[in-house]
């Protein structure tokens, strides 16, 4: 039993059995996206396989897997792009799969991503099912699948792997499995810088559980909910930051720049945290001409929708670990000065923000919810094929 309140009691059917419809629906949506990508790419004389495995970050990950760290590119403007900016778990898995199976590093990255996307879908279902029930869990998975940039879930990128680790870490906290939560948070911290969001969620839930336990102990007549042993919670909290902290400290040692060395590496990519100032300027510049003003308006509407969904989650009293995790992911994505075209995929791990929409779809009649989901799936497949054959995710 968990020491954190949840809204829905677990049904009698096992979690894997309850997750089957969601996983089948997720696989169907992703298959549709891949078919659309293959057809669009063939029409343009491009290789869908190359688009999925050998562009942008995929190349950096496979280079780390094959050759290790130490590679960098010096640009004419003085910027230095170092592969130390890329966290190691995905290339480690690529190297492992390459060693045990007859797969190239690129093939291994694609296989890891595809398997991780299924694990992420299962984790999203587990979280939503735990909080709102299996029907909401089904639509949470489908909504994550039909995101406009959902094609990234099938690329040799780290978003799917990170989302899988984050979702299952959150589920572990919701169900009181603190050691598992800490271990998964540590692995998430080895996957992407936003692993800090998982660590924050584990720590927030842990602190609240200790405060509630202490308050119940000192309140005469208060009900005593069952808790995991204190040492398990404390150890889970201690484990959570080890992955991210270990890699950041290693980079600092490797570069000779101390604990802040990783920030210098990111600065070489012009990545940093400025509270959203650069993003606001980017949006504002869109209003200098009429055609681009429509894009600027769309960005404002998109950000407003994200904030509204997050506030809706607060009003509906989502578990604190979900709110903390989502809040940190949104803040890091929207308030960073990184390349603005990458922000949609950086927001992808913030799946709890979809839960209010999932609950709304769950309340519709099955025919209507199926029609809405199918329409979104087709739109996402077409957009993903168009996007990846164009600018795509840097």
CB atoms within 10 A of CB 327: 20
pTM for this prediction: 0.92
8 Å CB contact between 98 and 108: yes
Place of tokens 């509407």: 301
**Quick one: average pLDDT of 154-183?**
96
Smallest CA-to-CA distance from 154 within 67, 248, 31 is with 31
What are the φ and ψ backbone dihedral angles of 73, each rounded to 5 degrees?
A: -120, 130
Q: What are the tens digits of pLDDT across the range 248-258?
A: 999 999 999 88
Q: Is the pLDDT score of 278 beyond 70?
A: yes
**Quick one: average pLDDT of 356-367?**
94
pLDDT of residue 159: 96
pLDDT of residue 302: 87
pLDDT of residue 3: 38
CA 346 – CA 152 distance, rounded (Å): 10
CA 356 – CA 309 distance, rounded (Å): 7
Smallest CA-to-CA distance from 25 within 149, 150, 188 is with 150
pLDDT of residue 216: 61
**Confidence category of residue 299, pLDDT binned at 50, 70, 90:** confident
Half-sphere exposure of 129 (CA within 13 A, CB side): 27
Smallest CA-to-CA distance from 2 within 260, 176, 142 is with 176
The three-class DSSP label of residue 81 is strand
Place of tokens 């169900």: 175
**Confidence category of residue 215, pLDDT binned at 50, 70, 90:** low
pLDDT of residue 381: 96
Q: Is the pLDDT score of 296 beyond 60?
A: yes
8 Å CB contact between 137 and 174: no
pLDDT of residue 224: 46
CA 136 – CA 128 distance, rounded (Å): 6
Q: Is the pLDDT score of 286 beyond 80?
A: no
Q: What are the tens digits of pLDDT across the range 40-69?
A: 999 999 999 999 998 889 999 999 999 999
Query: What stretch of H or E contains 82?
Result: strand 80-82
pLDDT of residue 220: 55
Q: What are the tens digits of pLDDT across the range 364-386?
A: 999 999 999 999 999 999 999 99
User: What percent of the chain stands above pLDDT 70?
Assistant: 93
Rounded mean pLDDT of the chain?
Answer: 90
């Amino acid at each position: 039993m968990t020491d954190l309140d949840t809204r829905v009691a677990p049904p009698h059917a096992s979690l894997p059995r309850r997750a089957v419809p969601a996983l089948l629906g997720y696989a169907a949506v992703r298959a549709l996206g891949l078919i659309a990508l293959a057809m669009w790419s063939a029409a343009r004389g491009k290789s869908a396989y190359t688009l999925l495995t050998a562009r942008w970050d995929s190349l950096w990950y496979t280079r780390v897997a094959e050759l290790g760290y130490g590679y960098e590119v010096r640009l004419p403007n003085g910027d230095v792009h170092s592969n130390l900016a890329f966290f190691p778990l995905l290339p480690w898995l690529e190297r492992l799969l390459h060693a045990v199976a007859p797969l190239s590093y690129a093939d291994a990255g694609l296989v890891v991503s595809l398997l991780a996307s299924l694990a992420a879908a299962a984790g999203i279902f587990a979280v939503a099912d735990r909080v709102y029930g299996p029907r909401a869990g089904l639509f949470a998975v489908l909504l994550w699948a039909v995101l406009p940039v959902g094609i990234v879930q099938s690329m040799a990128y780290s978003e799917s792997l990170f989302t899988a680790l984050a979702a299952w870490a959150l589920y572990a906290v919701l169900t009181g499995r603190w050691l598992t939560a800490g271990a998964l948070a540590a692995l998430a911290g080895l996957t992407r810088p936003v692993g800090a969001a998982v660590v924050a969620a584990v720590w927030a839930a842990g602190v609240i559980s200790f405060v509630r336990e202490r308050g119940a102990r000192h309140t005469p007549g208060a009900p005593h909910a069952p808790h995991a042993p204190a040492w398990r919670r404390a150890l889970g909290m201690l484990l959570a930051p080890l992955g991210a902290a270990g890699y950041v400290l290693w980079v600092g040692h490797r570069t000779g720049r101390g604990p802040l060395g990783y920030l210098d590496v990111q600065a070489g990519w012009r990545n940093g945290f400025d509270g959203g100032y650069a993003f606001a300027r980017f949006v504002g510049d869109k209003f200098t001409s009429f055609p681009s003003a429509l894009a600027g308006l769309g960005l404002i509407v998109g950000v407003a929708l994200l904030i509204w969904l997050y506030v809706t989650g607060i009003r509906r009293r989502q578990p604190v670990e979900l709110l903390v995790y989502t809040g940190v992911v949104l803040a890091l994505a929207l308030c960073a000065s990184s390349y603005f075209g990458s922000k949609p995929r950086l927001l992808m791990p913030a799946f709890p923000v979809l839960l209010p929409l999932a609950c709304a779809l769950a309340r519709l009649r099955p025919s209507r919810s199926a029609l809405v989901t199918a329409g979104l799936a087709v739109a996402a497949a077409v957009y993903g094929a168009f996007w990846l054959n164009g600018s795509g995710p840097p």
